[in-house]
Structure 1
Amino acid sequence: MNRPAYGNDLPAVFPDWSPYPDLDSAARAYLRDPDVALEALDGVLSGGSVLGFTLERFVNEVNGVWQEVAICDGTRLVLWHGEDMAPTDGPAGAMTSSIRVVPLSAVTEVGCRRRLLRSADGQVRVDGVDVYLLLSSLDEAGAGSGREDVGGVRHDALRFGKTLDDGGPGQIARLEEFAQLVGSLVGRPI
């Protein structure tokens, strides 16, 4: 799936980050603003180990580029999010950069759904992966939003997805590895 380019300077298809085993190389290959992301992440990681990560980037027709890095360091999930501001919200080129740190003890459930396609000859291949990390914290948007949630409470969740059209087989595999890593650590003594 080719996404339309935003303006004239962004490609519709982004480079593949999955061949890069380290965060620095993967971020520099894939993110538009790797220096912004890596500087923000370094401030929280403080030289700690990155056991696994996943990256996301897409073009939003309203705001421009939306970028995300999710890292597991063995005890925490460290998330960086960068997003272009809408033209009505700031000067041209303005963006937000945010960090979120979630202790692994706050992850109550890890789910990974694979979408499989079967070819005419019976071969099965993975067409996409959706991963969610359910958190013990509550989703602020759920309160009073009119959602039909049980008791009006909705737990916060982190969601990640890759498909053959949006990331390819390498990024699907890397996202599955990230989900397996987090799943192997959740609920264990730290």
Structure 2
Amino acid sequence: MTRPSFGGEIPAVFPDWSPYQDLESAARAYLRDPEIALEALSGVLRGASVLGFTLERFVNEVNGVWQEVVVCDGTRLVLWHGEDVPPGDGPPGSMTSSVRVVALSAVTEVGCRQRLTRTATGAVRVDSIDVYLLLTSLDEAGGPATEEATTPTTMRHDALRFGKTLDDGGAGQISRLEEFARLVSSLVGRPMI
């Protein structure tokens, strides 16, 4: 299988990463730019154990490919994000690559919502999953209304959000995202040694 460079054609359907238990194999199977992601992540992880991870990738009609890897090493969430630069914002084929590290102690709440349906036989099936991790940091903050601004600015906590559906990822990726949410949930609020 050939992989296009970050200026090439993008397949409409991405390979499934869910069968791969190790980060490198999953990234190489799923991401368009696995070398960039793995190099950025290894610079932060520096040999730390990867306890769990989730991957996301989609094609945006304006920016091209958007990719994300989130790794949990037991004390931190390490996020890599890669995104094609919109036309006109840089030379053709340009992309951004960024890393964010969030201490698990900054996660105050983990939420996991599944959409369940019953099949004709009565069996319950998970059609989609949405996971959020609420953080202590603020996403937007502001003060009370002033004469110039009649509505107060809302204050809300930063959150990390992830989702998978049967159409976007399939049953395997839904299961792996649920597994990731359970891992983070089991670690949040525990004393860090």
TM over 0.5: yes
Partner of residue 105, structure 2 = 105
Deviation at 1:178, TM superposition (A): 0.2
Deviation at 1:80, TM superposition (A): 0.2
Partner of residue 171, structure 2 = 169
Partner of residue 137, structure 1 = 137
Partner of residue 157, structure 1 = 159
Label 1:152 to 1:42 Cα distance change in 2 as closer, same or farther (>3 A): same
Mapped contact 2:142–2:152 kept (Cα < 8 A)? no
Q: Is there any run of 5+ residues in structure 2 with no aligned partner, and where?
A: 1-6, 146-150
How far apart are the structure 1 equivalents of 2:113 and 2:152? 23
AA paired with 1:188? R
How far apart are the structure 1 equivalents of 2:57 and 2:142? 29
Taking only the aligned residue pairs, the percentage that are identical comes to 78
Label 1:102 to 1:150 Cα distance change in 2 as closer, same or farther (>3 A): farther
Partner of residue 190, structure 2 = 188
Residues 11-50 of structure 1: per-residue CA shift (max 9 Å, x gap):
1110000000000000000000000000000000001100
How far apart are the structure 1 equivalents of 2:152 and 2:36? 39
AA paired with 1:158? L
Partner of residue 3, structure 1 = none
Q: Secondary structure, in 3 states, of the residue corresponding to 1:128?
A: strand
Deviation at 1:150, TM superposition (A): 9.1
Label 1:29 to 1:42 Cα distance change in 2 as closer, same or farther (>3 A): same
Partner of residue 75, structure 1 = 75
RMSD over equivalenced CA pairs, Å: 1.9
AA paired with 1:110? V
How far apart are the structure 2 equivalents of 1:8 and 1:115? 35
Deviation at 1:9, TM superposition (A): 1.6
How far apart are the structure 1 equivalents of 2:157 and 2:57? 25
Partner of residue 119, structure 1 = 119
Instruction: With the length of structure 1 as denominator, give the TM-score of the two structures.
Output: 0.90
Instruction: With the length of structure 2 as denominator, give the TM-score of the two structures.
Output: 0.89
Q: Is there any run of 5+ residues in structure 1 with no aligned partner, and where?
A: 1-6
Q: Secondary structure, in 3 states, of the residue corresponding to 2:69?
A: strand
Are 1:28 and 2:31 an aligned pair? no
Label 1:101 to 1:123 Cα distance change in 2 as closer, same or farther (>3 A): same
Partner of residue 54, structure 2 = 54
Mapped contact 2:107–2:188 kept (Cα < 8 A)? yes
Residues 52-108 of structure 1: per-residue CA shift (max 9 Å, x gap):
000000000000000000000000000000000001101110000000000000000
How far apart are the structure 1 equivalents of 2:167 and 2:36? 27
How far apart are the structure 2 equivalents of 1:150 and 1:182? 34
Label 1:151 to 1:143 Cα distance change in 2 as closer, same or farther (>3 A): closer
Partner of residue 63, structure 1 = 63
Task: State the number of aligned residues.
Answer: 180
Q: Secondary structure, in 3 states, of the residue corresponding to 1:139?
A: strand
Q: Secondary structure, in 3 states, of the residue corresponding to 1:132?
A: strand
